[in-house]
Chains A and B, each alone.
Chain A
Amino acid sequence: QKEVEQDPGPLSVPEGAIVSLNCTYSNSAFQYFMWYRQYSRKGPELLMYTYSSGNKEDGRFTAQVDKSSKYISLFIRDSQPSDSATYLCAMKDADSWGKLQFGAGTQVVVTP
């Protein structure tokens, strides 16, 4: 079993809809959680970073962490075709220098 599970999709939504993405993890040592967006043939771009349970909002993006359930989510409101990309969740424990553990990534397609 992988430490971080993420449905690879693809997830297809109409423009303007809410995109809902999630990851589950098994390692309770993970304390820091990130969401990255990766366009085709590009490097991952940091979208959201959080280290506590609860919600964090930034513009159209909301990140949610539930440490008791080992479950994190990312919501994208008012989705645009430019949001079409692969979204990767990443996690880090407190003692591992410079190492992020990634989910498989979910491919999102927003159709006009």
Chain B
Amino acid sequence: KAGVTQTPRYLIKTRGQQVTLSCSPISGHRSVSWYQQTPGQGLQFLFEYFSETQRNKGNFPGRFSGRQFSNSRSEMNVSTLELGDSALYLCASSLEGGRQETQYFGPGTRLLVL
């Protein structure tokens, strides 16, 4: 079974621009979670989607948004990019995001904001 895929793998943007990242979960998985990983803050939860609905959200500003499509693929968008948004953005999928389920991560999208 194919794993979680993320596109693009690398991205360079300038301050003020916006960016859209894409995540395709493992086949059959309907829950997709997004995380930001930086050297200073580590892995931080952004939000989780299930059945095209955001069920959970972390403590990030409204510039960070996401959505999920009917085939469970998910996108996240960051508007008005800041230098501090430079990070590895990871998505993870699970069957339904339930309490006992584990999450499987994709390779990440490395975003550099200049």
Contact = CB atoms under 8 A, between A and B. Distances in A.
Contacts, number: 68
Given A97-B56, A99-B56, A49 B102 contact: yes
B45 A100 contact: yes
Interface string B40-80: 00111100111000011010000000000000000000000
Interface in B13-43: 31-33, 35, 42-43
B99 A99 contact: no
Contact residues on B (Cβ < 8 Å of other chain), bracket = 20 to 34
A102 B43 contact: yes
A98 B103 contact: yes
Interface residues of A, number: 27
Given A41-B110, A97-B56, A98-B49, 20 more contacts: A32-B100, A42-B107, A43-B4, A43-B106, A44-B43, A44-B90, A45-B105, A46-B105, A95-B99, A97-B50, A97-B98, A98-B48, A98-B94, A99-B33, A99-B48, A100-B35, A100-B45, A100-B103, A101-B45, A102-B44
